Amino acid sequence: MTQSGRGADLRILTEFVYNEHVDTRSQNAELVREVSDFRVTYLVEDRWAVGIMSLRMPIEPPEGFGPRASMSFFMYNQDGQQAIARPYLDGPPAAGERGPSPLDGHSDMPKYHQLDNWDAGTNAPSGNFIYDFNLFRYLVRDDWEEVLSHTAEGEVVSGSLESLCEAFTQGRELKVGIRGLCADMAEGGKGDRSNLPERPGGCFAQIGPVPFSAPLPDHTVFVQTGPGYHCTDRKLFSAGCQPVVRVRPGIPMRYTSGGWDFGWLMPRTDGFIARWLCDPISSAFIRATAAMPSAGSYDSLPGRIRRVRGTGNEVPPLSRVRSAVCASPNPTLRKGAHDVEENG
């Protein structure tokens, strides 16, 4: 958990038999090794780590891609429980019924154990499962260093804007960790839905009070950034994040109907954050802006900048999210494989 709290990179090595996992109609029984990159990671209650593949489309190695254009948001918990959310990208949203769905048969995949199934027949089916891989190994790279941490009002907690900008101008990659990012996704709350645009805590899009059934667990979401911008006169730094998958936090984390979405963020060192999120069922994009209560930055070896994280209250509004930023090592110093953290 220490590595997860520092925004460490996560990859997972698995081994499986081709005709047990990829094409069950094939006679090919060769062993296949896969290493997947989990670009979005969660730390829940400072004790539970989760990784999500945020850039993956369906693929059928080594032949090509899957049958439909979609995203494959695979999610792996630290105990090996897995999940998949699949927003389709190839046409108008399907009008299937939302909520619990019958389990798929998967009789041809005896190592696949489906736990539940949600929103089948819609534009964004999801479900939770366990697949008995021949090998399942966590690969962790923990070489980020914090370069800045600040409050929602932009007050520096540790590090400095100068340290962040120095790492930025050296070409280092940035990763941000945002605490409480999914606080508006409490079950029974209204969150980010195209027909329910309310926001808690005074966001500009708020229409009225937003009910929540219960506070969500404390959580921090880590995601790498892409383009960064230093406004030198205003002494302000902002960055566009790589795609982020938001999931209602829990232990373990699971996909449910209405419990996830995805999109892009733009955090800023004065505590402001912009969100452009997609409702996976309707494919509608929703913009929102707010302030973050605390943010930070990190600097590792020479190389990249990586994280921003935040803190929230029992039901933290989007305007109350603490953040931090990390910088990665210099690419010339980042050679070699990830360290193996677990093998099961």
In the chain, count of helices (H) and strands (E)? 3, 24
CA distance 110 to 301: 45
Contact 77, 44 (CB under 8 A): no
Q: The dihedral of CA 138, 144, 146, 147: what is its sign? A: negative
**Confidence (pLDDT) at 301:** 24
The tally of CA atoms less than 13 A away on the side-chain side of residue 282 is 12
Query: What is the pLDDT, as a whole number, of residue 275?
Result: 94
DSSP per-residue string spanning 107-135: TT-TTEEEEEEE-TTBSS-EEEEEE--SE
**What end-to-end distance do the CA atoms of the chain give, in Å?**
17
Question: CA separation (Å) from 294 to 22, 38, 56, 136?
Answer: 44, 25, 31, 36
pLDDT value of residue 312: 28
Closest CA relative to residue 228, chosen from 171, 278, 179: 171
Q: What is the pLDDT along the chain (344 residues), one digit of tens a residue?
A: 556 678 899 999 999 999 999 999 999 999 999 999 999 999 999 999 999 999 999 999 999 999 999 999 999 999 999 999 999 999 877 878 999 999 987 889 999 999 999 999 999 999 999 999 999 999 999 999 899 988 778 889 899 999 999 999 999 999 998 888 998 898 754 333 333 333 233 222 222 333 445 689 999 999 999 999 999 999 999 999 999 999 999 999 999 999 999 999 999 999 889 999 999 999 999 998 765 533 333 332 222 223 333 322 222 333 334 567 777 775 444 444 444 444 34
- Contacts of 225-232 with C-beta under 8 Å, sequence gap 24+, read 225/173, 225/174, 225/175, 225/176, 225/305, 225/306, 225/308, 228/168, 228/174, 228/305, 230/165, 230/168, 230/169
- Give the type of residue at 311: T
3-state secondary structure of 263: strand
What pLDDT sits at residue 338?
46
DSSP string, 52-95: E--S---EETTTEE-SS-B--EEEEETTS-EEEE--B-SSSPPB
Q: Residue 211: how many CB atoms within 10 A of its CB?
A: 11
Report the distance separating Cα 147 and Cα 6, nearest Å.
12
313/38 Cα distance (integer angstroms): 27
- Contact 304/297 with Cβ under 8 angstroms? no
C-alpha distance from residue 88 to each of 185, 191, 276 (Å): 22, 21, 18
